[in-house]
């Protein structure tokens, strides 16, 4: 198995929030994780990257159980980039993780340049991270993870704190990451975040209730609240959003 988990269950003290989760993610796959508030998406991502440990089951990375020795292979991008940025300059921020794992200086500079250009922040090496826009901060957080060359990247609602411009910047980065063959799981409520996913996994009350094609998911009634706005309109008024607007404006 490239990446996934087997029979994973997790409780916060007495409260069970995930039950018997099984995932199998192929190399290069782009997976969307959806579910209403509190369904367990963030908890699942935190288990998949080793921030939390399950009471039952295991996470697998390249046929091995995820533990403190190999969890570096899983990169986790927080919802709020402020939680992740620690450097005084952009370059220092990306360098931080690399220094921790003892990457030699020359290799480190190469990786920093590559990561910054992949997220479109080239030339900003000496900028103050606090002076960056929201979209740039999120891209810096992605670069810092990318530089560590993880096998898989997990993103927890990466656009929820951004304006439309920032969101578009992140979509461009995701397209770049896909082109270079990165494996990505993205938890999100935003339909646009999930436009290009290979498959959807839907959680409800801590259980997987759907796994499969995106279009099929939106056609099904598994989780109504996750439907894109246009689809909700279609079902309610039996008309396309554009047709309705045209009709109203006539």
Ligand X SMILES: Nc1ncnc2c1ncn2[C@@H]1O[C@H](COP(=O)(O)OP(=O)(O)OP(=O)(O)O)[C@@H](O)[C@H]1O
* Contacting positions for ligand X (CB under 6 A): 12, 15, 17, 35, 37-43
For ligand X, the closer CB: 168 or 204:
204
For ligand X, the closer CB: 51 or 241:
51
Residue with tokens 């029979």: 7
- Least spacing, CB of residue 22 vs ligand X, in Å: 18
- Least spacing, CB of residue 245 vs ligand X, in Å: 30
E strand or H helix that includes residue 94: helix 90-100
Residue 250's contacts (CB-CB under 8 Å, 6 or more residues apart) are none
For ligand X, the closer CB: 170 or 223:
223
DSSP sequence for 176-195: HHHHTT-EEEEE-S-GGGGT
- Least spacing, CB of residue 1 vs ligand X, in Å: 23
Under 8 Å between Cβ of 66 and 58 = yes
- The number of residues in the chain equals 250
E strand or H helix that includes residue 10: strand 3-12
- Least spacing, CB of residue 42 vs ligand X, in Å: 3
For ligand X, the closer CB: 64 or 224:
224
Residue 65's contacts (CB-CB under 8 Å, 6 or more residues apart) are 58, 59
- Least spacing, CB of residue 36 vs ligand X, in Å: 7
Under 8 Å between Cβ of 78 and 160 = no
For ligand X, the closer CB: 15 or 69:
15
Residues facing residue 156 across a β-bridge = 187
For ligand X, the closer CB: 133 or 224:
224
Under 8 Å between Cβ of 48 and 10 = no
**How many helices and strands (H and E) does the chain possess?**
8, 10
- Least spacing, CB of residue 208 vs ligand X, in Å: 13
Token code pair at residue 150: 């993880």
């Amino acid at each position: 198995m490239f990446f996934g988990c087997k029979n994973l269950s997790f409780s916060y003290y007495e409260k069970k929030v995930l039950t018997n989760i099984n995932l199998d993610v192929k190399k290069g796959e782009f997976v969307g994780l959806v579910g209403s508030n509190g369904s367990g998406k963030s908890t699942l991502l935190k288990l998949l990257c080793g921030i939390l440990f399950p009471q039952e089951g295991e996470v697998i990375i390249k046929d091995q159980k995820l533990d403190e020795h190999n969890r570096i292979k899983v990169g986790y991008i927080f919802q709020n980039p402020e939680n992740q940025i620690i450097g005084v300059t952009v370059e220092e921020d990306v360098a931080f993780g690399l220094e921790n794992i003892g990457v030699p200086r020359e290799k480190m500079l190469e990786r920093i340049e590559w990561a910054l250009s992949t997220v479109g922040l080239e030339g900003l090496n000496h900028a103050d991270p606090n002076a960056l826009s929201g979209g740039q901060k999120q891209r810096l957080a992605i670069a810092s993870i990318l530089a560590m060359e993880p096998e898989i990247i997990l993103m927890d609602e990466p656009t929820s704190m951004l304006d439309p411009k920032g969101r578009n910047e992140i979509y461009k980065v995701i397209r770049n990451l896909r082109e270079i063959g990165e494996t990505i799981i993205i938890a999100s409520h935003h339909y646009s975040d999930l436009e290009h996913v290979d498959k959807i996994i839907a959680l409800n009350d801590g259980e997987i209730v759907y796994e499969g094609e995106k279009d099929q998911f939106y056609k099904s009634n598994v989780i109504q609240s996750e439907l894109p706005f246009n689809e909700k309109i279609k079902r309610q008024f039996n008309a396309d959003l554009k047709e309705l607007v045209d009709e109203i404006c006539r």
